């Protein structure tokens, strides 16, 4: 079985008192129209992620070959879309304890660390822990001005220069806009190697560009197969209206409209897909959370993406999902064949005899079935996506599945899934409070507003 | 400044069109009544977590002293409440890269790994990576029958016996019920060291029992100070009705009742508190997500806890929070003094000059202020909890703050915050499908129900 399977039995209402959708409503006219608008999005050429499966990866492969031997560690300095994809690929495809492996066991490929915050210890602690000379730093920011990323770069650079003097250049590679931005200029002036964040691909859709692929390549992930998997999914979606992405989006959309179900839980039964869920959270939240629709009316659209990992979160969040408010739609991901597994033999403890002759993964997947069907009994609609095994092709497919589903949902909601106007204001206030030139007015306006608020707090 | 500060200015409505609560509504009669019921809960003696700050830790300290030298690694085998607290203490209090440190840098204390899933690689991969002979395994389950935990123990045991023959006993310590359950019996028969999960403390409230404290002790965390911090918070809560926990619970409750705001975001600006948010998610979800109220009426109560980490998730979830549905209440946590920090000097890149003379943590905390105030502008109520620094005393205080707030919310919602009836059914189905004795009827009922469902799926 090399196919993915999307099982949506648990999303169908059996009766009118049941929460779910009608089987024959999946492909109704509104869905057809949104599908056609999604095709138009692709044809517009404005949203480059649709074309990434055809990306040329020669430069990445050459650079990896040239540089690999010189390093043990690859450190990504990025945030949001310039970090979540890197973490996701690392976690999905390489062994869970990869960074603890000695070099031989890594076949010469690098450990990968992603520094995606300005918690001081995240960077400074790492600089104290790894061998800087054997570390390649990849600074990733489209604009070149992302405060968090550039902060981390400035401090990493300081350490690099202390250790390596003018040779620091060989330990840095910059991924930024092809022409614009201060980082492009800086790289040219300082003769630092560069890669490209394409102009027409937003951060959260950029994992299959140089942004996500470079670190993956340095840790030995087959990026060619990743792109082939994405191409396969693209073909499935664009060659027929009646495809699994349409079904998924139609279910999520109808549950929202019929019942105001606006919490979207992604629950892989796999520790490897824990960061896949984090990656999905950004994609779904930032794309679909929008104040206005395409006509400018205030709609405050949005579905809250929630990460859960099975079976672990059966012991954390599932009580709420089973018994709490009926505002949740769950998508499970399960893996048919695990790369590591083991079978129970001769169990001495009587109460655990029932596990005999089963494998660990059978227990895991049986728990998934039991959880999905219990939720359905409790009127919590859910679907299950089964994937044959974790490999590059399948992860590429999975990435493209959720990216396209997100674009499709944007069309269903009649909003722009590709911008993020709601994050600008806080950036400007930060600049204003940090004393950046040109932000004096912003500071004044901020302080005036602030003065209107009450000032209430309690010490303890 | 050694105090915590809870700033709730951003949760107050300035006008009737504003989303927020009225300043003079915080201590209204309903809140007083619930406070008094919370005192009664404590006095009932049924909920042992209230008394944990007075716990005797002598046995833990003696055991640590006796065993420490023999080991490099401490592996927790547990799930849910028998894992989240261990991860939280590890992550909050020890350096972020602790497990990468050589032994000298750890002052002889142990690396800690928590195996809290039956993803096969999580355990098997670890067993291939660490030196088993130098590893102490701590099996934690109150009942002794938790399938995930016992599965991992059976496989760990297999490896231990291969390596150590009959000496395996010295590498295992069991934390379970004082008298009941198969694991207590097993430990006695096999002469294995044990610790106790108290009868009257539920899993999600158990971090300050042997469950959470043993692993903490082995990694050099000052567990005495943890308990002192919890005691300090307990005193603050019980000595006066007008305390920060009352304020927090009152705000969360009123926002729920007035606006149906049922998504509770916990957003620490600290990578150290990332697992604190995970720990909170279980506490809040499992305690407050309940089908029926105390009188048995169906209420489907519950607030969805959501983890976010600042500043990172400004680049992921904040767009949705600013512009999406008005169903969110955010609690920020910020740290005034970071243990590691650095100041910007002489910045060469002109566009980043504004960072000069600031520290990394100033940027981080300024971003928190900017984000909180922007959300408020967008009518998303929020509070900020400032803590002076990360240390054992303060984490103990923080733990007790959220545990007590959860119990208090249970009283406000008129539900039992201490049970979890919604997780039993899936357990039984799992047993039935795995062929456990005594579950034949459950299997029959399950399959009959399943046959009523449609069977809908798509391969791709």
Chain A residues near residue B342 by CB distance under 8 angstroms = 120, 124, 155
Q: Which helix (H) or strand (E) holds A398?
A: helix A392-413
Cα distances (angstroms) measured from residue A100 to each of A133, B59, B149, B260 = 19, 33, 24, 46
Q: Which candidate in A165, A191, A315, A437 is catalytic? A: A315
Is A9 close to B301, i.e. CB distance below 8 A? no
CB contact under 8 A, B453 and A124: no
In the sheet where A193-196 sits, what is the strand order? Answer: A111-115, A73-77, A135-140, A172-176, A193-196
Task: Check whether residue B193 and residue B111 sit in a common domain.
Answer: yes
- Per-residue pLDDT tens over the stretch A147-181: 999 999 999 999 999 999 999 999 999 999 999 99
Q: How far apart are the first and last CA of chain B?
A: 60
Name residue A301's beta-bridge partners. A290
- Give the closest of B236, B340, B433 to A120, CB-based: B340
Instruction: Examine the domain organization and report whether B292 and B192 are in the same domain.
Output: no
What gap in Å lies between CA B121 and CA A361, rounded to an integer? 10
Number of domains in chain A: 2
Same domain, B180 and B255: no
Judge if A220 and A252 occupy the same domain.
no
Residue B189 neighbours by CB under 8 Å, 6+ apart? none
| The Cα angle at residue A447 between residues A444 and A448, in degrees rounded to 5 | 85
Nearest CA in chain A to B117: A312
- The b-or-e profile of B136-171 (16+ CB within 10 A means b, else e) is bbbbbbbbbbbbbbbbbbbbbbbbbeeeeeeebebb
Asked, for residue B187, whether it belongs to a domain, the answer is: yes
Helix axis angle, B360-377 to A424-434, nearest 10°: 130
Neighboring chain B residues of A120 at a CB cutoff of 8 Å: 338, 340-342, 359-361, 364
Q: Are B115 and B107 a contacting pair, CB within 8 Å?
A: no
Do A179 and A268 have their domain in common? no
Contacts of A326 in chain B (CB under 8 A): 300
In a domain, B162, yes or no: yes
- Which of A165, A193, A224 is where one domain is finished? A224
Q: Which of the listed residues A413, A437, A453 is the one where a domain comes to its end? A: A413
Cβ of B349 within 8 Å of Cβ of A459? The answer is no
**Which chain B residues are Cβ-neighbours of A354 within 8 angstroms?**
431, 434-437
What's the rounded Cα separation, in Å, for the pair A194 and B130?
38
**Residue A66: inside a domain, yes or no?**
yes
Return the residue in B277, B353, B430, B446 with the most chain A beta carbons within 10 A, the one to mutate for interface testing. Answer: B430
Co-location of A209 and A271 in the same domain: no
Strands A5-7 and A73-77: unpaired
Is the CB of B125 less than 8 angstroms away from the CB of A236? no
* B348 shares a domain with B269: yes
B272 with A121: Cβ contact below 8 A: yes
State how far the Cα of B417 lies from the Cα of B407, in Å rounded to an integer: 6
Contact B226, B214 (CB under 8 A): no
Question: How far, CA to CA in Å, does A6 sit from each of A336, A339, B420, B425?
Answer: 13, 22, 30, 24
Query: What sign does the CA torsion over B308, B312, B316, B322 have?
Result: positive
Question: Cβ separation of A320 and B304 shorter than 8 Å?
Answer: yes
User: Is A39 part of any domain?
Assistant: no
Task: Find chain B residues with C-beta within 8 A of A425's C-beta.
Answer: 322, 370, 374, 377
Q: In CATH, what number is assigned to the domain containing residue A189?
A: 3.40.50.10490
- pLDDT tens-digit readout, A187-224: 999 999 999 999 999 999 999 999 999 999 999 999 99
Residue B6 has pLDDT above 90, yes or no: yes
* Alpha carbon distance A211, A48 (integer Å): 14
Within 13 A of B398's CA, how many CA atoms are on the CB side? Answer: 30
Q: Which of B169, B189, B224 is the last residue of a domain?
A: B224
Do A192 and A272 belong together in one domain?
A: no
Q: Which residues of B touch A233 (CB under 8 A)?
A: 460
pLDDT at B1 over 70: no
Q: Tell me which of A289-293, A452-456, B72-76, B296-300 is least confident.
A: A452-456
Within a domain: residue A420?
Answer: no
Buried-exposed string A351-360: b where 16+ CB fall within 10 A, e elsewhere: bbebbeebbb
User: What backbone phi and psi angles, to 5 degrees, belong to B142?
Assistant: -65, -50
DSSP string of A151-205, one letter each residue: HHHHHHHHHHHHHHGGGGGGGEEEEE-SS-SHHHHHHHHTT-EEEE--TT--GGG
The HSE-up count of residue A241 (CA atoms within 13 Å, CB side) is 13
> Residue range B288-306: average pLDDT?
98
- CA–CA gap between residue A185 and residue A198 (Å, rounded): 16
Instruction: Report the alpha-carbon distance of residue B227 to residue B223 in Å, rounded.
Output: 6
- Which pLDDT tens digit goes with each residue over A339-357? 999 999 889 888 899 999 9
Same domain, B151 and B269: no
Q: Which of B115, B118, B145 to mutate to test the interface with A (most CBs of A within 10 A)?
A: B118
Nearest CA in chain B to A149: B312
SS3 A313: helix
- What is the C-alpha to C-alpha distance for residues A190 and A188, in angstroms, rounded to an integer? 5
Q: Per residue in B427-455, pLDDT tens?
A: 999 999 999 999 999 999 999 999 998 99
Rounded to a whole number of angstroms, the distance from the CA of B344 to the nearest CA of chain A is 8
**Helix spans in B219-349 (H):** 223-239, 244-259, 274-288, 318-323
Instruction: Decide: pTM greater than 0.95.
Output: yes
Query: Residue B426 in contact with residue A376, Cβ under 8 Å?
Result: no
Substitution target in A430, A438, A443 with the highest count of B β-carbons within 10 Å is: A430
* No. of helices (H) and no. of strands (E), chain B: 15, 13
pLDDT at B348: 86
Percent of the residues in chain B that have a pLDDT greater than 70, as a whole number? 100
Residue B113 has pLDDT above 70, yes or no: yes
Structure confidence by residue, pLDDT tens digits, B18-75:
999 999 999 999 999 999 999 999 999 999 999 999 999 999 999 999 999 999 999 9
The stretch A11-27 carries a mean pLDDT of 95
With CB atoms and an 8 Å threshold, state whether B282 touches A315.
Answer: yes
Residue A101 and residue A177 in one domain: yes
Mean per-residue pLDDT for B168-188? 96
Tell whether A198 and A274 lie within a shared domain. Answer: no
From the CB of residue A272, how many other CB atoms can be counted at a distance below 10 Å?
Answer: 23
Q: What count of CB pairs under 8 Å joins A to B? A: 457
- Say whether B120 and A361 touch across the interface (CB within 8 A): yes
CA B314 to chain centre: 22
**Residue range B309-330, pLDDT digits in tens:** 999 999 999 999 999 999 999 9
Q: Is the pLDDT of residue A276 over 70?
A: yes
Look-up: residue for tokens 């990576």?
B129
Which residue reads 């104040």 in tokens?
Answer: A291
Residues A293-314: what's their mean pLDDT?
98
One domain for residues B112 and B253: no
φ, ψ for residue B71, nearest 5 deg: -130, 160
Inside any domain, residue B361: yes
Q: Taking CB atoms and an 8 Å limit, are A311 and B434 in contact across chains?
A: no
Domain span at residue A142? 50-224
CA distances from A194 to A87, A179, A203, A214, B142 (A): 21, 11, 17, 11, 55
The answer to the question of residue B348 being in a domain is yes
CA distance A385 to A248: 10
A385 and A4 Cβ atoms separated by less than 8 Å: yes
DSSP string, A328-393: EEEEEEEEEE-SS--B-----SGGGGGGTT-BHHHHHHHHHHHHHHHHHHTT--EEEEEEEE-SHH
A405 is a domain residue: yes
pLDDT for B165: 94
Exposure string of A156-183, with b = 16+ CB inside 10 Å and e = fewer, is bbbbbeeeeeeebebbbbbbbbeeebbb
Helix axes B210-218, B84-93, angle to 10 degrees: 40
According to DSSP, the β-strands at A135-140 and A172-176 are: parallel
Confidence of residue B2 (pLDDT cuts 50, 70, 90): confident
HSE on the CB side for B153, CA within 13 Å?
29
Longest Cα–Cα distance of chain A, Å, equals 74
Residues of B taking part in catalysis: 286, 315, 427
Written as six digits, the tokens of B202 are 């539920």
Q: Looking at the predicted structure, is the pLDDT value of residue A88 above 90? A: yes
Closest CA relative to residue A380, chosen from B447, B457, B304 = B304
A452 included as an active-site residue: no
pLDDT of residue A1: 59
Residues from chain A that touch B373, judged by Cβ atoms under 8 A, are 426, 429, 446, 449-450
Strand A304-307 with A263-268, pairing: parallel
Q: Phi and psi (nearest 5°) for A322?
A: -75, -35
The minimal CB distance from A457 to the residues B7, B23, B426 is found for B7
Instruction: Determine contact, residues A96/B122, Cβ cutoff 8 Å.
Output: yes
In this complex, do B454 and A4 lie within 8 Å of one another by their Cβ atoms? no
Are the C-beta atoms of A437 and B347 separated by less than 8 Å?
no
């Amino acid at each position: 079985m090399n196919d993915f399977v999307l099982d949506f039995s648990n999303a169908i209402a059996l009766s009118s008192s049941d929460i779910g959708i009608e089987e024959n409503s999946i492909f109704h006219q509104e869905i057809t129209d949104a599908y056609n608008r999604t095709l138009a999005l692709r044809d517009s050429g404005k949203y480059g992620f649709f074309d990434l499966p055809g990306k040329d990866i020669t430069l990445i492969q050459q650079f990896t070959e040239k540089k690999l031997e010189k390093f043990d560690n690859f450190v990504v300095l990025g945030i949001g879309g310039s970090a979540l994809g890197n973490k996701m690929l690392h976690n999905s495809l390489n062994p869970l304890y990869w960074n603890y492996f000695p070099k031989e066991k890594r076949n010469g490929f690098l450990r990968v660390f992603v520094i995606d915050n300005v918690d001081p210890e995240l960077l400074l602690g790492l600089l104290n822990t790894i061998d800087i000379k054997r570390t390649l730093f990849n600074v990733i920011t489209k604009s070149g001005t992302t405060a968090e990323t550039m902060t981390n770069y400035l401090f990493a650079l300081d350490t690099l220069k202390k250790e390596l003097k003018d040779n620091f250049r060989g330990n840095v590679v910059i991924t930024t806009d092809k022409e614009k931005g201060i980082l492009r200029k800086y790289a040219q002036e300082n003769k630092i190697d560069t890669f490209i964040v394409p102009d027409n691909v937003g951060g959260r859709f950029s994992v299959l560009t140089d942004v996500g692929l470079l670190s993956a390549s340095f840790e030995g992930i087959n990026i060619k197969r990743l792109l082939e998997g994405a191409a396969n999914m693209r073909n499935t979606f664009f060659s027929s209206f009646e495809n699994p992405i349409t079904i998924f989006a139609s279910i999520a959309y109808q549950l929202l409209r019929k019942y105001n179900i606006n919490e979207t839980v992604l629950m892989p039964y796999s520790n490897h897909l824990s960061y896949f869920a984090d990656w999905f959270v950004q994609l779904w939240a930032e794309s679909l959370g929008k104040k206005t629709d395409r006509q400018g009316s205030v709609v405050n659209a949005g579905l809250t993406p929630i990460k859960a990992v099975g079976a672990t979160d059966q012991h954390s969040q599932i009580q709420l999902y089973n018994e709490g408010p009926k505002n949740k739609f769950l998508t499970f991901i399960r893996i048919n064949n695990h790369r590591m597994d083991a079978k129970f033999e001769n169990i001495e403890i009587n109460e655990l005899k029932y596990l005999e002759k089963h494998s660990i993964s059978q227990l895991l997947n049986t728990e998934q079935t039991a959880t999905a069907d219990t939720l359905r009994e409790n009127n919590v609609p859910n679907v299950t996506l089964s994937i044959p095994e974790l490999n590059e092709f399948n992860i590429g497919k999975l990435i493209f599945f959720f990216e396209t589903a997100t674009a499709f949902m944007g069309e269903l909601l009649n909003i722009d899934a590709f911008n993020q106007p709601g994050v600008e204001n806080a950036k400007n206030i930060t600049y204003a409070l940090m004393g950046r030139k040109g932000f004096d007015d912003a500071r004044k306006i901020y302080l005036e507003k602030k003065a209107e608020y009450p000032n209430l707090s309690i010490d303890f």
